[in-house]
Amino acid sequence: MATLQDITVSAAINLLSAFAFLVAFAILRLQPINDRVFFPKWYRKGIRSSPTRSGAFVSKFFNLDWRTYIKFLNWMPAALRMPEPELIDHAGLDSVVYIRIYLLGLKITVPLAVLAFSVLVPVNWTGGTLEHIRNLTFSDIDKLSISNIPDGSKRLWAHITMSYVFTPWTFYVLYTEYKAVAAMRLRFLASENRRPDQFTVLVRNVPPDPDESVSEHVEHFFCVNHPDHYLTHQVVYNANKLATLVAKKTSLQNWYTYYHNKYERTSKRPTKKTGFCGLLGSKVDAIDYYSSEIQKLSEAEAAEREKVINDPKAIVPAAFVSFKSRWAAAVCAQTQLCRNPTIWLTEWAPEPRDVYWNNLAIPYFELSVRRLLMAVALFFLIFFSMIPIAFVQSLANIEGIEKVLPFLKPIIEVKSFKSVIQGFLPGIVLKIFLIILPIILMTMSKVEGFSSLSSLDRRSAGKYHLFILVNVFLGSIITGTAFQQLKSFLDQPPTEIPKTIGVSIPMKATFFITYVMVDGWAGIAAEILRLVPLVIFHLKNTFLVKTEQDREQAMDPGCLDFATSEPRIQFYILLGLVYSAITPVLLPFIIIFFAFAYLVFRHQVINVYDQRYESGASFWPDVHRRLIIGLIISQLLLMGLLSTKKIDKSTIALLPLPILTIWFHRYCKGRFESAFVKFPLQDAMIKDTLEHATEPNLNLKTYLKDAYIHPVFKGTDFDRPQLICEEEDNPLVPTKRTSKQNSEAGSTSGS
């Protein structure tokens, strides 16, 4: 068990390394050559352009002005300066609400820490159990924790009382935050410009019809059932193969550019081998090879494009149906259309960027089976994943490698090398698993058949949260694999489980303090440094970039990785809630994490990230629910711990807390959740009326015409089937809009 001094040293080391990261960041970001790595968002917005400052050639790449280095931390106040409404305009609601989660962590933990340090720490410190026990090693941290209080002491009522302060405080913070986010979402949706998804509903599981094509069937169905409101629709093509071809072509084009640039620099025709990874096969002229490959692929692509557009079988039984008003779209998205609730399924269309095209055509029964299989798979992933990893780890030792790759034997047998392998390989195997875990989870969510990127992210986050809860939180407290835990939990009474875990909680405080510093602090510092995008950008910049436009494409601003970051925040909040009444010393470390992360992510959101989609903070109900789960876990563990402390009626005294928490969750759900899943008719009507008054001549049909075509068709002009009630049901006077105006409207609405 670490002493207070150990922790102080560890904290100092971690603070120093975080500081080193910050200094590195401060220096790197000031170099003009890195400008596009650290400020890509401004480039994307067209506000910032490559530095063209006159002066020495070297100053184009390196910042020689020493004065700017003095103020190397001035990005911090700068990050805080932009007010929230402007930030929503600048980065979208998703990002703003995401960084509010860190703020929420602060709002919850800071008052908890203040109260805990002023009440519980003195109570614990003077408890004096540990001083009497001589044969046990204990640290100063344990003296500040509940462990220092003798069993059955009346002092424990202080902890029970405080948990009755902590819980309402958390309720208050959660309630106001949910309310604020719901209001922000509604205001955001109301203030938004015209967007195609406001008028559009995604219709899935269109039943097959022997006499009509999917397009005609959709048209007829909506002409009958929404006669006054139906405007137009867009069928969905199964363009997955085409998309693969296009992606392959882009990759080939990159190689072509690379070799072409090489040729221009060296004036020597570069060659390459055609076989596996350019290592085997016959040598050919690289430029000729790639240009002919591109040529072939272009032809294949054109043929496939032709096929997709003309083959009725390439149309999947789904469509984007647009209405004449937001009111009608809101109505259609919220109501059931057909007797059979598994066909003609309607839901709000995700915004065009957010559509996950591959999943639009899954029948109801298949979807249901997929979800079952993925639930079972998730169970096995969470509870059994450690078993194959341990197996691979056991293989990944010296003997295993020597057997599989005998030619490496002489290298491995070098002594110093051997010990490194033996020491690191198992850790590396685990690390690799943890890196590919989010990819596995995302794949599972894709198999589950969700139809928008935002919902895929949300589902993956849910899975990752479960994984962290079981394998990181419980796994750190109780030894053994998750499956062994599960087995031991099933074999002991349910009242014993909180006790078993609760008892270990205070002993693990130092471990979690170290974890917060290493995983939290260092992780955030690494986040701001953007080492991987930095390297990739410079590689691309050196080998591929020729024009300004190429450089534009070489930037990889990245985006907030909701699916992995959010569950981590939840984990830290859970730690804060659990330890607030048990070992409050942990809280300052978490507070530093939240404050630092808030700063860093605010900076990143302002300067770097470019979101792939905008869902209007529709993830908030999930965030809220997981916080409630954390709160209930903390209450149950406190109950378990106190019941082992032999204090009378502690369980009954604490029992109302989880019940109240569940009720609070249900109340909030009823009160706010619908803001995230439905769109009130009142708001739709207000926006419709306003638009009708300000733009009476708007031709909505033209506006919506190509909003929902598959991205591979973007920019091409393809023949669309003639609409049936073209002339009769369009009461709007079409105005002449140039295509430039149209595309402008599209880009505004898409931002």
Binding site for its own copies (CB under 8 A): 186, 224-226, 228, 330-331, 334-339, 341-342, 344, 364-365, 368, 372, 376, 489-496, 659, 663, 666-667, 670-675, 678-683, 685
Nearer to its own copies, 115 or 186 (CB): 186
Structure tokens at 642: 């106190």
Minimum CB distance to its own copies, residue 223 (Å): 11
Q: 129, exposed or middle or buried, with CB in 10 Å at 0-12, 13-18, 19+?
A: middle
Cross-strand pairs, 233: 321
Q: Alpha-carbon distance 52 to 579, whole Å?
A: 53
Q: Whose CA is closest to 537, among 18, 19, 28, 23? A: 28
Smallest distance from the beta carbon of 649 to its own copies, in angstroms?
A: 15
Q: What are phi and psi of 702, to 5 degrees?
A: -65, -40
CB of 481 to its own copies, least distance (A): 18
Residue 197 tokens read as 């998804």
Question: Which one, 258 or 344, has the nearer CB to its own copies?
Answer: 344
Residue 24's Cβ-count burial label (10 Å; 0-12, 13-18, 19+) is middle
Provide the minimum distance between the beta carbon of 548 and its own copies in the complex, in angstroms, as a whole number.
46
Burial classification of residue 117, based on how many CB atoms lie within 10 Å of its CB (0-12 exposed, 13-18 middle, 19 or more buried): middle
Q: How far apart are CA 647 and CA 358, in angstroms?
A: 58
Residue type, 462: G
Q: Which is nearer to its own copies, 399 or 491 (CB)?
A: 491
How crowded is residue 246: how many other Cβ atoms within 10 Å of its Cβ?
Answer: 17
Assigned token pair, 107: 């709002």
50 versus 342: smaller Cβ distance to its own copies: 342
The nearer residue to its own copies, 236 or 331, going by C-beta atoms, is 331
The CB-of-373 to its own copies minimum distance in angstroms stands at 10
Q: How far is the CB of 183 from its own copies (least distance, A)?
A: 8
Rounded to an integer, what distance in angstroms lies between the CA atom of residue 330 and that of residue 685? 10
Judged by CB, which is closer to its own copies: 178, or 609?
Answer: 178
The nearest distance, CB 55 to its own copies, in angstroms, is 56
Q: How far apart are CA 637 and CA 11, in angstroms?
A: 27
Distance of CA 415 to the CA centre of its chain: 43
Please, what is the minimum distance in Å from the beta carbon of residue 344 to its own copies?
8
Q: Do 233 and 322 touch, CB atoms closer than 8 A?
A: yes
Q: Which is nearer to its own copies, 521 or 676 (CB)?
A: 676
Scan for tokens 């730690």, then name that residue: 575
CA angle at 678 for the pair 455 and 372, rounded to the nearest 5°:
40
Of 91 and 501, which has the nearer Cβ to its own copies?
Answer: 501
Nearer to its own copies, 287 or 668 (CB): 668
Using CA atoms, how far apart are residues 98 and 563, in angstroms rounded to an integer? 12
Smallest separation, CB 195 to its own copies (Å): 19
Q: Could you give the residue ranges of the DSSP H alpha helices within 140-155?
A: 140-143
Q: What are the Cα distances from residue 444, in Å, to 376, 565, 623, 728, 733?
A: 11, 18, 20, 46, 48
Question: To the nearest 5 percent, what fractions of the chain are helix, strand and coil?
Answer: 70, 5, 25
The residue among 83 and 670 lying less far from its own copies, judged by its C-beta, is 670
| Side-chain half-sphere CA neighbours of 147 within 13 A | 25
**Nearest approach, Cβ of 671 to its own copies (angstroms)?**
6
For residues 271 and 283, the answer to whether their CB atoms sit within 8 Å is yes
Picking from 96, 61, 100, the residue whose alpha carbon sits closest to that of residue 594 is: 100
Please name which of 695, 622, 692, 696 lies closest in space to residue 459, comparing C-alpha atoms.
622
- For residue 355, the 8-state DSSP code is B
CB of 197 to its own copies, least distance (A): 17
CB nearer its own copies, residue 225 or residue 261: 225
**Pick 223 or 401: Cβ nearer its own copies:** 223
Q: What is the closest distance, in whole angstroms, from the C-beta atom of residue 338 to its own copies in the complex?
A: 5
Least distance between its own copies and beta carbon 104 (Å): 22
Q: Contact 571/52 with Cβ under 8 angstroms?
A: no
Considering beta carbons, is residue 531 or 660 the nearer one to its own copies?
660
